[in-house]
Amino acid sequence: MSSRWADTEADRAEEVRRKKEKEEKKRLKLQKQKEAEEAAARAKAQQEEDARPSKKRKLSPAGEGGSKNATEERKLMRFDAGGWGPCRHLSNFEIVNEIAEGTYGHVSRARELATGAVFALKKVKMDFAVEGFPVPALREIALLQKARHKNIVDLREIVLGESFDEVVLVLEFIEHDLRTLQDDMPEPFLPSEVKALLLQLTSALSFLHENHIMHRDLKTANILLSNRGVLKLADFGMARFIPPPSAPLTQYVVTLWYRAPELLLGALSYSTEVDMWSLGCIFGELLLKQPLLEAKNEVDQLSKIFALCGLPNDKSWPGFWRLPNSKSLKLPRNAPTDNGSAIRAKFPIAGKAGAELLISLLSLNPDDRPSARAVLEHQYFKEQPKPKPASMFPTFPSVAGQENRKRRDTPNAPRRGDVPRLGGGGIDFSGLFAGRDEEQKGAGFMLRMG
């Protein structure tokens, strides 16, 4: 007789049923957990998809490209969007010392309080009574924002002072300007250093001209040099985009000592050739360590130009007599064409190639002056001595960091709205070319005013 506690068939069946029920509950629990994880992953993916910018599907007509275009990977073009934002306040900077004052602004050396970095601050001179916000400042801001080049000073930002008439340009700080630096140097730059400086300046000028920009105030005071031998072109207050050929321009641009003869004679239509004349004046100044054509007024400037470059005639400068102020000049029509003898005699250190380059840059006829690109490829830079590398350039004490420093008096850039005048009264220059045997006897000229 079996025990009443022995397992029966019914007990075993019940145990199997309970085991299956337990396994089913466990399976359902795991399934719900998996579905919840999948739902969370889908929600996260949807959020990421919504955060991306929408892409427009490009639809191409049937038969154009076919399956080839469908399989090619399309690359999105990226553009600088830019944007508007508030200007920072001038209080973010601490003025260290004054550097200089020009026609259109005051320049100071300043330190940014947050970073300790040193910058040059150019405060715009306001004249609301005449024209509101100065046009030269507007042009300088617009052009410096576009002219990004290793040899052009970098405009970092624009800040405001306590009032709206206190607008300050924040520029990178460069230790020297060539005008002050040459005054403090006991000797001129070496030929290899002159080549290095001229190459960098011409590179900046070529960039501007190829982007249809005229500087119109090239001079050594507007050329900066760092202690690392890097040259930077600055002061774009008179720069502008090149207009169409028929558009009239003011002839009263460029500081007097670097002003081209066609501007002195009243030309209303000109282009990048006026910058190339200034480049020639700077080239000569680097060799001499003093301004090449240092005159007191427009009449004196013309006399010095003609003494160095010769008298214009119908062959050397066909359009000379059509210039407005040329009618005030009394010149011989058959004046001999100058062959550059005065320039060669004045610059023996430049060598044959250097003298030829200088003669071409100081051509009276604007059409005979080379472009900046042609100057960069000139033989002068290929012969010995080669241009000195920037890393080997000498360093000098930073004059811009001194509070009270002596600066040589140089003429300022012309003010907007001024009109050039050659003066009044008769001025006789008939003895200007006396003693120059290579020219025709008596081939002087007289300037008649009135």
**Rounded to an integer, what distance in angstroms lies between the CA atom of residue 121 and that of residue 99?**
9
Q: Is the pLDDT of residue 436 over 90?
A: no
Residue range 363-368: average pLDDT? Answer: 94
Q: Which candidate, 293, 287, 262, places its Cα nearest to that of 275? A: 262
pLDDT of residue 41: 87
pLDDT of residue 83: 63
**Rounded to an integer, what distance in angstroms lies between the CA atom of residue 395 and that of residue 407?**
19
Q: Please tell me which residue, 419 or 376, carries the higher pLDDT value.
A: 376
Read off the pLDDT band of 412 (50, 70, 90). low
**Rounded to an integer, what distance in angstroms lies between the CA atom of residue 201 and that of residue 206?**
9
Q: Please tell me which residue, 103 or 326, carries the higher pLDDT value.
A: 326
Tokens describing residue 206:
């070529």
**Burial degree of 115 (CB within 10 A; 0-12, 13-18, 19+):** exposed
Catalytically active residues are 217
Tokens describing residue 444:
């002087």
pLDDT of residue 304: 94
Strand partners, 94: 111
pLDDT of residue 136: 85
Tell me the average pLDDT of the chain: 82
Residue range 307-331: average pLDDT? Answer: 86
Residue range 82-90: average pLDDT? Answer: 78
pLDDT of residue 45: 82
Of 2-6, 172-176, 179-183, 333-337, where does mean pLDDT reach its minimum? 2-6
CB 176 within 8 A of CB 230: no
Residue with tokens 């059409």: 367
CB 124 within 8 A of CB 104: yes
Q: Which candidate, 308, 426, 394, places its Cα nearest to that of 358? A: 308
**Rounded to an integer, what distance in angstroms lies between the CA atom of residue 411 and that of residue 402?**
22
Residue range 23-38: average pLDDT? Answer: 88
Q: Is the pLDDT of residue 261 over 60?
A: yes
Sorted by sequence, the CB contacts under 8 Å of residue 374 that are 6+ apart come out as none
pLDDT of residue 156: 93
pLDDT of residue 437: 42
Chain segment 193-217, per-residue pLDDT in tens: 999 999 999 999 999 999 999 999 9
**Rounded to an integer, what distance in angstroms lies between the CA atom of residue 120 and that of residue 81?**
28
CA 365 to chain centre: 27
Q: Which candidate, 144, 286, 136, 120, places its Cα nearest to that of 208? A: 144
Tell me the domains of the chain and their CATH numbers. 88-172 (3.30.200.20), 176-406+419-445 (1.10.510.10)
**Rounded to an integer, what distance in angstroms lies between the CA atom of residue 442 and that of residue 402?**
52
**Rounded to an integer, what distance in angstroms lies between the CA atom of residue 145 and that of residue 62?**
45
Q: Is the pLDDT of residue 448 over 90?
A: no
Q: Please tell me which residue, 321 or 332, carries the higher pLDDT value.
A: 321
Read off the pLDDT band of 62 (50, 70, 90). low
